[in-house]
Amino acid sequence: AQRVTQPEKLLSVFKGAPVELKCNYSYSGSPELFWYVQYSRQRLQLLLRHISRESIKGFTADLNKGETSFHLKKPFAQEEDSAMYYCALLLPSGGYQKVTFGTGTKLQVIP
């Protein structure tokens, strides 16, 4: 079954420390993976997608097919990074975006 796993419910780091939010996936085809973020009192929104290999707000994520992972990283955490982060996998569908999400990891950056 296609699945996304985020093993950590909560990750607390100090400001300025490196951040790594873990995501593993289970998918037999060629995956398209994403990270979504939800800041306090804001709506869920796309943070980045692996296919574009971009860096958004200092975050990067590399797809590792051998380890079936798509971990989200940032070298120096900022207080404003505190939020819920969801890893997501796009599944084949009939012309629409069928996205399956992980359970999410709450990132808490301690000042």
For binding to other proteins (CB under 8 A), which residues are involved?
4, 32, 34, 36, 43-46, 49, 51, 86, 88, 90, 93-104
β-strand partners of 84: 38, 106
Q: How far is CA 55 from the centre of its chain?
A: 12
DSSP per position, 39-73: -TTS--EEEEEGGGT--BTTBEE--BTTTTB--EE
What whole-number distance in Å separates Cα of residue 97 and Cα of residue 78?
31
We find the least distance from the C-beta atom of residue 15 to other proteins, in angstroms, to be 28
- By beta-carbon proximity to other proteins, the closer residue of 68 and 101 is 101
- By beta-carbon proximity to other proteins, the closer residue of 81 and 102 is 102
- By beta-carbon proximity to other proteins, the closer residue of 38 and 68 is 38
Closest CA to 28 of 68, 64, 62, 63: 68
- By beta-carbon proximity to other proteins, the closer residue of 22 and 49 is 49
We find the least distance from the C-beta atom of residue 9 to other proteins, in angstroms, to be 8
We find the least distance from the C-beta atom of residue 70 to other proteins, in angstroms, to be 12
